[in-house]
């Protein structure tokens, strides 16, 4: 059996929204809107027919032993070299065996099917057993042209062989005509095309049916025997009509990909065929035809072997890996259709030494490095002396292919100084799994997508176009693995060690599980006693949670100490350090309840609750804090309660302990601030062992700890910037509670202390919560208290006036008097002021012929426009805000002639 043994597809990640072409240049070519549906694929600046062919071939070879390939045929009409075999570059890039026959197939859109036919003939003839056939095209058109809309870039590849056939070759039929729908003269950059209506009616709709019907007749079958029909035709309507003409039901026809990709030239029948193979079932008969100076039609029958490709969806994968852009200018720049200034730096010589390229072809084109036989270190490049400093063996390295090994970013930058087609130029150190690294260019990504640790894969891309010498350099670059960034941006606790007290059940258990699930090593502390803290305690609850964590593949140890004693706290922290070497997170969650009305609140019940909640938090946090300070990192959670924050009948012991924890946090946040130790408090509302039998079951169900834990996890993360805050959390609802202080009132003076009567009179004012403030510490609060309210209001209100009473309007009123005619000689400028804020507005200052005129409102053509807030403006004019600082800090923005704006200081002397 002979046929297709594997397939691969590649569509560039970038897609250009066709409407963006129309929006940019539709004024010039309004008719192109007719085909401006969807998006077309577009090469990144460093992609061409060769790099896409390599990408499609790599995708195809994932499932084939490339060492067995005996031929490589490359089909394209847009190959970068007219005389240097392009297939040879692809073969070297794929690191195929040296004993291989390679050939380019070109100069017609049916070059791909010609190559396929030749491969089939060769295998049939028995000369070769396995041949790779790749088709790839990046067709150029002038801007603002129908064909720019119709075309897309892409590639596809098949291997043809006689074993493990997934689509058996059943027969072919070809017709050849010198039908010149378009042509491109030798040395010309663009195609010359004839009228579309003629191409449609006399070309596609006659030539394709002739070949297809010829094949059906030859094989003695009818269209009813065909399950899927593949043929190109970028006229959407005509594509459908041809099927009708052939008597094929519409659902058999594979879409021409106009809206999602565009016509990919020579590669298009192959690419559509890969779409058909994605969904093929054993027994399916697929008819594929090409178009270009005639047509070749093939019939394939899908075999059982297709099952090994089930679910791989190679075509769909590459189609779905996309980034859509509206930036038509980028498209033009990437294709060299516009030539922005690149600067003198871009003039650096780019001559390739062929001798070096030949000697190091495996390294440069194939990304082949070395692996040391002595120490096993993979390294790039392969050298004579091993790079491992404790090995340094000589002549010890065997070839080692890096291209398909996963890598991660180790360091990176986005460089705006380096010459780049898509600034900033992005590059950095990449580290391969299993060893090996080098400084690599990044491709097909934005700076925002790059992170240390991001998984990348290697792509064969262009490095430079040596336009003067007509040469193209290729090498390998790193591109982010699709979806990897999303995965990375998840909050994780890798390398972090957490202590969760009272983690045997309820909230604590969920905190522990969720932290462990995201990478933390956890000390699961639980005394295992009854809700009121009584009883012997039991190791069971903590052990169960540890087992649960371990079942998830996480790391955890159990601890059964009592938080209520200093020794217990020490031991808990010690078990973290003993097991995992550090402590990053402490969640003070352990608690007991002994509710009694105050009348019945005896000392024992009072003290027991204080001991677990307040002393417990101290006992665990204190030894942990010392370690956190050393580490320069810590996240501490206190657990308060609505009962503490707002009060609850029968819980005087509990509510006082809970509120005490807020006080503990308030000071601890200050002491920890310098060391990146954040302390926050949560008031959870959740059902747990403490509350299970007090709550109605239906509410208890909604109050799962999972609706609280996300906030706690965030507060424990590196990403958390909060410290000293109190949050309510429950049932998926989150808010912040805070201690706020109002403006108050100043009564009496040094000689006359205020009287109770005055207080009584002023109670409304003292109680008035308008304009409340939050203070970060005692000093801030005291300072505020000692600044009399009268002064405070004078300092700054929101009317845009400052202490001196200068308003924005005043300034412009005073401007004519401040004008310096001497400084205005030869100045002809109009300054537009847009002052935002309550007292803002628009003013125009016109300086001409040694005079000035101030008007309100806007002018049409200002020399420059100054945008600034009202209070900043007043500060700037009154000398409190340096204009340069205002400008560099962004408070002042200037549009238009920035240099002219610097005259303003000389033209007007307000002070």
Partner 1 sequence: MATGIKDKVAIIGMGCTRFGERWDVGGEELMLEAYEECLKDAGIEQNDIQAAWFGTCMDEVNVGKTAMPLSVTLRLPKIPVTRVENYCATGTEAFRGACYAVASGAYDICLALGVEKLKDTGYGGLPGGGSSTGTLLWQWWPNLTAPGSFAQLASAYCAKYKVKDADLKRAIAHVSAKSHANGVLNPKAHLQKKVTEDQIMAAPIIAHPLGLFDCCGVSDGSACAIVTTPEIAKKMGKKDFVTVKALQLALSSGEETAFNDWDGDHFMTTSKCSVQAYKEAGVTNPREEISMMEVHDCFSITEFVTYEDLHISERGKALKDVMDGFYDLDGGVPCQVDGGLKCFGHPIGASGLRMLYEMYLQLHGRADKRQIENPKLGLTHNLGGFPFQNICSISIIGKHE
Query: Taking CB under 8 A as the rule, does residue 95 contact partner 1?
Result: no
Query: Taking CB under 8 A as the rule, does residue 379 contact partner 1?
Result: yes
Catalytic residue among 10, 654, 675, 733: 654
> For partner 1, which stretch binds (CB under 8 A), given 352-360, 550-558, 607-615, 647-655?
352-360
Kindly tell me which of 452 and 780 has the beta carbon lying closer to partner 1. 452
Query: Taking CB under 8 A as the rule, does residue 673 contact partner 1?
Result: no
Query: Taking CB under 8 A as the rule, does residue 518 contact partner 1?
Result: no
Q: What angle do CA 264, 265, 266 make, to 5 degrees?
A: 115
Query: Taking CB under 8 A as the rule, does residue 85 contact partner 1?
Result: no
Site for partner 1 in 866-905 (CB under 8 A): 885, 888-890
> For partner 1, which stretch binds (CB under 8 A), given 87-95, 381-389, 482-490, 697-705?
381-389
Query: Taking CB under 8 A as the rule, does residue 377 contact partner 1?
Result: yes
Shortest distance in whole angstroms from residue 231 CB to partner 1: 42
Site for partner 1 in 706-765 (CB under 8 A): 718
Query: Taking CB under 8 A as the rule, does residue 910 contact partner 1?
Result: no
Q: How far apart are CA 102 and CA 474, in angstroms?
A: 19
Shortest distance in whole angstroms from residue 856 CB to partner 1: 32
Rg over CA atoms, the chain: 37
> For partner 1, which stretch binds (CB under 8 A), given 248-256, 313-321, 405-413, 759-767?
405-413
Shortest distance in whole angstroms from residue 66 CB to partner 1: 23
Sequence-distant (≥ 6) Cβ neighbours of residue 6 within 8 angstroms: 60, 61, 62, 63, 64, 158, 159, 166, 309
Task: Report in angstroms the alpha-carbon separations of 393 from 345, 373, 401, 787, 804.
Answer: 40, 9, 20, 75, 79
Shortest distance in whole angstroms from residue 475 CB to partner 1: 5
Query: Taking CB under 8 A as the rule, does residue 237 contact partner 1?
Result: no
Q: Are 264 and 154 in contact (CB under 8 A)?
A: yes
Report the residue from 511, 633, 831, 908 that binds partner 1 according to the rule CB under 8 A: 633
Sequence-distant (≥ 6) Cβ neighbours of residue 583 within 8 angstroms: 497, 498, 499, 573, 576, 577, 624, 627, 628, 634
Give the DSSP letter string of 785-838. Answer: HHS-HHHHHHH--TTS--TT---HHHHHHHHHHHB-GGGGTT--EEEEEEEEST
Residue 799 has φ and ψ, to the nearest 5°, of: -90, 0
Name the residue with tokens 């002396």.
385
Report the residue from 265, 435, 623, 644 that binds partner 1 according to the rule CB under 8 A: 435
Kindly tell me which of 204 and 460 has the beta carbon lying closer to partner 1. 460
Query: Taking CB under 8 A as the rule, does residue 71 contact partner 1?
Result: no
Per the omega criterion (within 30 degrees of 0), is the bond before 651 cis?
Answer: no
How many chain residues interact with partner 1 (CB under 8 A)? 60
Sequence-distant (≥ 6) Cβ neighbours of residue 599 within 8 angstroms: none
Q: How far apart are CA 234 and CA 371, in angstroms?
A: 49
Query: Taking CB under 8 A as the rule, does residue 131 contact partner 1?
Result: no
Shortest distance in whole angstroms from residue 411 CB to partner 1: 4
Q: Are 553 and 522 in contact (CB under 8 A)?
A: no
Report the residue from 70, 441, 444, 875 that binds partner 1 according to the rule CB under 8 A: 441
Query: Taking CB under 8 A as the rule, does residue 415 contact partner 1?
Result: yes
Report the residue from 321, 413, 743, 765 that binds partner 1 according to the rule CB under 8 A: 413
Shortest distance in whole angstroms from residue 146 CB to partner 1: 37
Site for partner 1 in 284-343 (CB under 8 A): 343
Assess whether 147 carries a catalytic annotation: no
Q: Are 10 and 318 in contact (CB under 8 A)?
A: yes
Query: Taking CB under 8 A as the rule, does residue 431 contact partner 1?
Result: yes
Q: How far apart are CA 250 and CA 236, in angstroms?
A: 13
Residue 625 has φ and ψ, to the nearest 5°, of: -60, -40
Shortest distance in whole angstroms from residue 8 CB to partner 1: 26
Query: Taking CB under 8 A as the rule, does residue 418 contact partner 1?
Result: yes
Name the residue with tokens 């109605």.
696
Kindly tell me which of 439 and 785 has the beta carbon lying closer to partner 1. 439
Shortest distance in whole angstroms from residue 348 CB to partner 1: 3
Sequence-distant (≥ 6) Cβ neighbours of residue 164 within 8 angstroms: 5, 305
DSSP character at residue 685: E
Query: Taking CB under 8 A as the rule, does residue 632 contact partner 1?
Result: yes
Shortest distance in whole angstroms from residue 345 CB to partner 1: 5
Report the residue from 99, 186, 187, 353 that binds partner 1 according to the rule CB under 8 A: 353
Kindly tell me which of 234 and 427 has the beta carbon lying closer to partner 1. 427
Query: Taking CB under 8 A as the rule, does residue 494 contact partner 1?
Result: no
Sequence-distant (≥ 6) Cβ neighbours of residue 52 within 8 angstroms: 10, 12, 43, 136, 138, 153, 154, 155, 267
> For partner 1, which stretch binds (CB under 8 A), given 45-53, 204-212, 431-439, 729-737?
431-439
Q: Are 635 and 724 in contact (CB under 8 A)?
A: no
Query: Taking CB under 8 A as the rule, does residue 838 contact partner 1?
Result: no
Shortest distance in whole angstroms from residue 512 CB to partner 1: 22
Kindly tell me which of 411 and 776 has the beta carbon lying closer to partner 1. 411
Report the residue from 52, 242, 440, 585 that binds partner 1 according to the rule CB under 8 A: 440
Handedness of CA 670, 673, 675, 680 (dihedral sign): positive
Shortest distance in whole angstroms from residue 718 CB to partner 1: 6
Q: Are 105 and 111 in contact (CB under 8 A)?
A: yes
The tokens for 762 are: 């002023």
Kindly tell me which of 148 and 444 has the beta carbon lying closer to partner 1. 444
Shortest distance in whole angstroms from residue 420 CB to partner 1: 8
Query: Taking CB under 8 A as the rule, does residue 468 contact partner 1?
Result: no
Q: How far apart are CA 221 and CA 209, in angstroms?
A: 15
Query: Taking CB under 8 A as the rule, does residue 452 contact partner 1?
Result: yes
Query: Taking CB under 8 A as the rule, does residue 417 contact partner 1?
Result: yes
Q: Are 565 and 619 in contact (CB under 8 A)?
A: yes
Terminal Cα distance for the chain, rounded = 95
Task: Report in angstroms the alpha-carbon separations of 643 from 595, 617, 687.
Answer: 11, 18, 15
Bridge partners for 287 per DSSP:
229, 299
Q: How far apart are CA 602 and CA 589, in angstroms?
A: 25
Query: Taking CB under 8 A as the rule, does residue 420 contact partner 1?
Result: yes
- In residues, how long is the chain? 911
Query: Taking CB under 8 A as the rule, does residue 356 contact partner 1?
Result: yes
Query: Taking CB under 8 A as the rule, does residue 519 contact partner 1?
Result: no
Q: How far apart are CA 122 and CA 70, in angstroms?
A: 10
Q: Are 815 and 852 in contact (CB under 8 A)?
A: yes
Stretch 584-623: interaction string toward partner 1, x if CB under 8 A: ----------------------------------------
Name the residue with tokens 């007043």.
874
Q: Are 501 and 618 in contact (CB under 8 A)?
A: no
Per the omega criterion (within 30 degrees of 0), is the bond before 381 cis?
Answer: yes
Query: Taking CB under 8 A as the rule, does residue 31 contact partner 1?
Result: no
Shortest distance in whole angstroms from residue 432 CB to partner 1: 9
Query: Taking CB under 8 A as the rule, does residue 453 contact partner 1?
Result: yes
Indicate which residues carry an active-site annotation.
654
Residues in contact with partner 1 by CB under 8 A are 343-345, 348-353, 355-357, 360, 363-364, 377, 379-381, 387-389, 410-420, 424-425, 427-429, 431, 435-441, 447, 452-453, 463-464, 473, 475, 632-633, 718, 885, 888-890
């Amino acid at each position: 059996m002979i046929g297709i043994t594997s397939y691969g597809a590649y569509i560039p990640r970038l897609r250009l929204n066709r409407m963006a072409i129309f929006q940019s240049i539709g004024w010039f070519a309004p008719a192109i809107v007719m085909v401006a549906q969807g998006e077309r694929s577009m090469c990144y600046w460093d992609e061409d027919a060769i790099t896409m062919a390599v990408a499609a071939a790599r995708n195809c070879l994932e499932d084939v032993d490339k060492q067995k390939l005996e031929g490589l045929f490359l089909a394209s009409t847009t190959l970068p070299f007219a005389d240097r075999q392009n297939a040879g570059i692809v073969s070297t890039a794929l690191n195929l065996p040296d004993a291989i026959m390679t050939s380019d197939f070109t100069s017609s859109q049916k070059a791909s099917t010609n190559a396929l036919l030749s491969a089939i003939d060769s295998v049939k003839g028995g000369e070769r057993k396995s041949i790779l056939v790749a088709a790839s095209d990046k067709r150029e058109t002038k801007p603002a042209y129908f064909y720019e809309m119709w075309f897309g870039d892409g590639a596809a590849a098949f291997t043809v062989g006689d074993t493990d056939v997934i689509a058996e070759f059943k027969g072919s039929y070809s017709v050849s005509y010198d039908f010149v729908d378009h042509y491109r003269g030798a040395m010309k950059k663009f195609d010359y095309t004839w009228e579309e209506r003629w191409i449609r009616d006399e070309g596609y709709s006659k030539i394709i049916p002739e070949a297809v019907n010829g094949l059906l007749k030859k094989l003695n079958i009818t269209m009813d025997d065909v399950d899927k029909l593949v043929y190109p035709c970028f006229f959407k309507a005509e594509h459908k009509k041809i099927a009708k003409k052939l008597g094929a039901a519409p659902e058999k026809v594979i879409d021409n990909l106009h809206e999602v990709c565009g016509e990919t030239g020579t590669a298009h029948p192959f690419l559509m065929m890969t779409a058909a193979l994605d969904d093929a079932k054993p027994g399916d008969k697929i008819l594929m035809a090409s178009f270009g100076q005639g047509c070749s039609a093939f019939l394939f029958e899908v075999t059982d072997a297709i099952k090994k490709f089930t679910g791989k969806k190679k075509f769909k994968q590459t189609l779905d890996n996309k980034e859509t852009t509206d930036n038509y200018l980028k498209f033009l720049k990437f294709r060299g259709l516009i030539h922005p200034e690149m600067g003198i730096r871009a003039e650096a010589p780019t001559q390739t030494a062929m001798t070096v390229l030949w000697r190091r072809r495996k390294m440069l084109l194939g990304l082949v490095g070395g692996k040391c036989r002595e120490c096993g270190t993979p390294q790039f490049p392969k050298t004579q002396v091993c790079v491992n400093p404790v090995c340094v063996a000589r002549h010890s390295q065997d070839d080692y292919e890096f291209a398909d090994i996963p890598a991660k970013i180790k360091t990176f930058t986005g460089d705006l100084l380096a010459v780049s087609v898509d600034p900033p130029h992005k590059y950095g150190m990449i580290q391969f799994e299993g060893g090996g690294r080098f400084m690599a260019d990044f491709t097909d990504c934005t700076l925002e997508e790059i992170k240390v640790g991001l998984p990348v894969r290697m792509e064969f891309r262009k490095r430079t176009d040596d336009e003067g010498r007509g040469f193209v350099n290729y090498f390998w670059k790193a591109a982010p693995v699709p979806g990897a960034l999303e995965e990375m941006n998840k909050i994780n606790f890798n390398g972090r060690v957490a202590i969760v007290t009272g983690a045997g059940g309820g909230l604590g258990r969920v905190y522990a599980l969720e932290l462990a699930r995201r990478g933390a090593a956890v000390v699961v502390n639980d005394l295992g006693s009854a809700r009121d803290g009584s009883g012997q305690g039991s190791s069971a609850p903590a052990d169960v949670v540890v087992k649960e964590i371990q079942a998830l593949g996480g790391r955890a140890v159990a601890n059964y100490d009592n938080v209520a004693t200093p020794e217990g706290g020490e031991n808990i922290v010690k078990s973290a350090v003993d097991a995992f070497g550090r402590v990053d997170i402490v969640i003070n969650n352990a608690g007991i309840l002994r509710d009694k009305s105050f009348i019945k609140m005896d000392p024992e019940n009072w003290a027991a609750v204080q001991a677990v909640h307040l002393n417990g938090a101290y006992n665990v946090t204190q030894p942990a804090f010392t370690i956190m300070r050393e580490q320069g990192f810590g996240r501490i959670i206190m657990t308060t309660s609505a009962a503490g924050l707002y009060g609850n009948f029968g819980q005087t012991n509990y509510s006082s302990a809970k509120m005490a924890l807020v006080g503990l946090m308030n000071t601890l946040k200050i002491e920890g601030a310098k060391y990146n130790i954040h302390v926050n408090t949560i008031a959870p509302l959740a059902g747990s062992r403490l509350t299970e039998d007090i709550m109605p079951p239906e509410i208890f169900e909604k109050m799962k700890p999972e609706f609280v834990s996300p906030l706690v996890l965030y507060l424990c993360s590196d990403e958390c910037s909060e410290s000293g805050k109190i949050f309510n959390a429950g049932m998926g609802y989150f808010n912040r509670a805070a201690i706020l202080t109002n403006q108050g009132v100043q009564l009496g003076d040094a000689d006359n202390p205020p009287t109770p009567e005055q207080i009584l009179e002023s109670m409304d004012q003292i109680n008035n919560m308008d304009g409340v403030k939050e203070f970060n510490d005692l000093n801030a609060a005291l300072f505020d208290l000692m600044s009399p309210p009268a002064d405070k209001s004078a300092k700054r209100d929101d009317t845009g006036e400052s202490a001196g009473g200068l308003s924005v309007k005043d300034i412009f009123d005073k401007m004519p008097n401040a004008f310096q005619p001497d400084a205005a000689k030869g100045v002809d400028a109009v300054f537009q002021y847009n002052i935002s804020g309550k007292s803002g507005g628009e003013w125009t200052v016109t300086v001409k012929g040694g005079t000035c005129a101030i008007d309100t409102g806007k002018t049409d053509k200002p020399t420059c426009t100054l945008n600034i807030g009202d209070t900043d403006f007043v500060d700037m004019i009154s000398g409190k805000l340096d204009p340069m600082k205002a400008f560099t800090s962004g408070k002042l923005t200037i549009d238009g002639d920035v240099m002219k704006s610097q005259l303003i200081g000389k033209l007007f002397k307000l002070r």
